[in-house]
Structure 1
Amino acid sequence: MAAVFSAATLALSVALAGCALPTHPDSAAPPTDPYNPAATQLLDDTQWQLDTWTDATGRARDIPGASAGGMGTPVTLNFSTDGGQRRANGFSGCNRFTGTYDLTDGKLSFGPLAGTRMACAPGAGSALEQPFLQGLGAIEKTGVQMRPPKELQLTLKSGDVLTFKEHAQP
């Protein structure tokens, strides 16, 4: 009976050890990046809301309408393939914008963007608009995390990081 118990314990231990997360042989290796550049093809026909914007020094910017409690209309970025062409549109803090986008080698880029020209009241939205639109033209790295919570992360050439959360169109 003891031999059966020992064999069962050994089998259970081996089975549980197989469930452990693999470790990298180099303990100095960086942690895995949950934002997969290859998943950028999954951006077609999705809608995103800007949640955080961190500059290269790690300082967070105020984001209107962010889930962290911001006030105002959220900054959005929407992707569509209606009509067979990749089109982007959204709200940049004060105005709406539209244009084309491309996904090449896991990197998101935008064609010329057109926008409305509303007079903007002072606040986080108007302060964010120009840096946001300029940032869309200076994307260094694009990553998408498609498992919940779904996120889009844009790293700009300046080192700023914009993180968007997926949202459904009303």
Structure 2
Amino acid sequence: MQKILRPLAMILALASATIMSACASGQPPDTPSANTSLSETRSSGPSRWELVRWQRPDGTLRDIPHGDNGQPIIFDFNDGIDSPQGTVSGTSGCNRFTGGYGKTSTGIRFDRIAGTRMACPGPRMELESALLKAMSSPFTTVGTQPSAGSMGRQIVWKTADGDLLQFVEREGVGRRGAKIDAASGKEKIVYIDSQRVECSGVGKMQCYRWRESPDAPWQLWYGAIEGLDFEPGVSYKLRVREYQVPNPPADASSIRWQLLDVEERSRAK
């Protein structure tokens, strides 16, 4: 039975309580059954997911990178998270990784995971090692949430060791917004700075800095750039299609940018 709760933190609390109760009684915790499909309103194709919470079986939390606290842990599913199988790539805490994934009757499995071998500070390497170890065994889906306002879909997976990993779908490679009339958009060239900066929208967030020409002043872009796999430290010249969004949510932009082409990219010196 699929569990769809609001807020999704309730799933984490309930699952944690189940695990801790089972440990106290000396019995192994039951594995919740789950319908792993999340396809409610999104198109097929790539989707990007960020690890936003990691809870251990005893209820304590791992410190995970996000915002200006380092490169977030990202999973990019080439055929979308709802596909029966495909390839996955992303960042694992320090390095980039790539491999395969396949849906199981209760969740998801990863295989053939390989990554780069860059050295990072001790805590990040420890986090990455724990994540890659967890990915060596299937994850069980214990909760999903189709959407929450302007937030993307969410999912909670339980690892073989009983940790709870909460992922949120992010704008980026392939996350689709609502369908719009392509003829209504206009093409434009934008220059994107090599680093995002902290800004304030509904709350604190990371914004792109952009300008219309190399000599123009920087402006803040609060939304996503759909289709851009942004790499910190790299500046971009992009050709995008700009759309007006009819009746946007109060906490969302009235303009969308969809990547058409990366005309130039250069690493900051």
1:16-165 mapped onto 2 (5 Å cutoff): 33-34=3-4, 37-40=34-37, 42=39, 45-65=46-66, 71-81=69-79, 86-123=86-123, 125-142=124-141, 143-148=143-148, 149=151, 150-165=153-168
Contact 1:40/1:108, CA 8 A, preserved across alignment: no
Taking the aligned partners of 1:65 and 1:155, their CA distance within structure 2 comes to 21
Q: Distance in 2 between matches of 1:139 and 1:163?
A: 15
Contact kept, 8 Å, 1:97 with 1:116, in 2: the verdict is yes
Aligned residues: 134
Question: Which stretches in structure 2 are left out of the alignment for 5+ residues?
Answer: 6-32, 173-227, 229-269
Change (3 A) 1:106 1:73: same
Measure the CA separation in 2 of the matches of 1:117 and 1:60: 26
Q: State the secondary structure of the residue aligned to 1:37.
A: coil
Give the letter aligned to residue 52 of structure 2: D
Change over 3 Å in CA distance of 1:41–1:145 after alignment to 2: closer
* Greater strand content: 2
Whole-Å Cα distance in 2 between the matches of residues 44 and 105 of structure 1? Answer: 21
1:39 deviates by: 3.7
Q: Is the 8 A contact 1:56 1:160 kept in 2?
A: yes
Counterpart residue type for residue 58 of structure 1:
G
Shift of 1:152: 1.8
Q: For each residue in 1:101-139, what CA deviation from the matched residue of structure 2 results, as whole angstroms up to 9, or x when unmatched?
A: 00132420011101001111233x222101011111223
Q: Is the 8 A contact 1:141 1:156 kept in 2?
A: yes
Native 8 Å contact 2:3 2:34 kept in 1: no
Residue 99 of structure 1, CA deviation: 0.5
* 1:21-76 CA-partner distances (Å, limit 9, x unpaired): xxxxxxxxxxx82279324364962211110000000000101116xxx7111011
Q: Which amino acid aligns with 2:4?
A: P
CA distance in 2, matches of 1:162, 1:100: 19
* Conserved 8 A contact 1:41-1:103: no
In 1, Cα distance between equivalents of 2:134 and 2:37: 18
Gapped runs of 5+ residues in structure 1? 1-31
Q: Give 4+ residue runs of structure 1 displaced > 4 Å after superposition.
A: none
Partner amino acid for 2:90? G
Of structures 1 and 2, the larger Rg is shown by 1
Query: How far off is 1:97 after superposition?
Result: 0.4
- Paired with 1:162 and 1:155, the residues of 2 have a C-alpha distance of 6
